[in-house]
Amino acid sequence: MTILYFLIGCSVLVALIFLGAFFWALKNGQHDDVYTPSVRILFDDEVQDEKSDQDHISD
């Protein structure tokens, strides 16, 4: 059962790594804007002009 001592240490360490990762993301500003990226990802790289106009009328 002494292996539990080691496992407990591991579990706390892993949890700490995730906590650290969360703080890094927070500091990095990843939670500052939680809306715009969801829109941004839907933009196509380049849409053909003529095609886009047709889409525009038909929808």
Partner 1 sequence: MSNSTLTHQSSVCYHCGDQLPAVKLSHDDKDFCCIGCQSVYQILSENNMCNYYAYNDTPGQRIKEEGHYEYLDEPSIIAQLINYKDKENTIVTFYIPAIHCSSCIWLLEHLYKINPAIFSSRIDFLKKEVTISYKHEQVSLRKVVEVLNQIGYEPLISLQDVVKEKSNSVNKQLIWKIAIAGFCMGNVMLFSFPEYFGLSALEKEFQYLFAWLNLAFCVPVTFYCARDYFTSAIASLKQKFVNLDTPLALIIAVLFIRTAISTIFNTGPGFGDTLTGLVFLLLMGKWVKQRTYHHISFDRDYRSYFPIAITTLKDSREKPVAIGEIVVGDRLLIRNGELVPADAILMKGDAWLDMSFVTGEAEPQQKVLGEIVYAGGRQMGEAIELEVVKPASQSYLTGLWNKEFYKSDVRKQNFNDSIAKYFSIGVFVIAFAATGYWLWQNDSTKAWSAFTAVVIVACPCVLALSTPFTLSAILSVFDKKGFYVKNTDALEQLAAIDTIVFDKTGTLTSTHQSEIRFEGSLSAGEKLLVASLLYNSSHPLSRQVLKVLNPSKIYAIAKYNEVLGKGIMGVVNGRMIYAGSKRALPFDVPAKDNGGVHIVIDEEYKGCFTVDQQWREGIAPLINELDDDFDLKVLSGDTNKDEQLLKSVFKPSTPLLFNQSPHQKLEEIKALQARNKQVMMLGDGLNDAGALKQANFGIAITDNINNFTPGCDAIMQGTAMGLLPKFIQLSRDGLKTIKISFAIATAYNLIGVYYAVQGTLYPLVAAVLMPISTITIISFTSLATRYFARKNRLK
**Footprint on this chain of partner 1 (rule: CB under 8 A):** 1, 4-5, 8, 11-12, 15, 19, 22-23, 26, 31-33, 35-36, 39-40, 42-44, 47, 49, 52-53, 55-58
Least Cβ distance, residue 47 to partner 1 (angstroms): 5
Task: Tell me the closest approach of the beta carbon of residue 22 to partner 1, in angstroms.
Answer: 6
Minimal distance, residue 33 CB to partner 1, in Å: 5
CB contact set of 25 (below 8 Å; sequence gap of 6+): 31
Number of Cα atoms under 13 Å in the Cβ half of residue 43? 7
CB 31 within 8 A of CB 25: yes
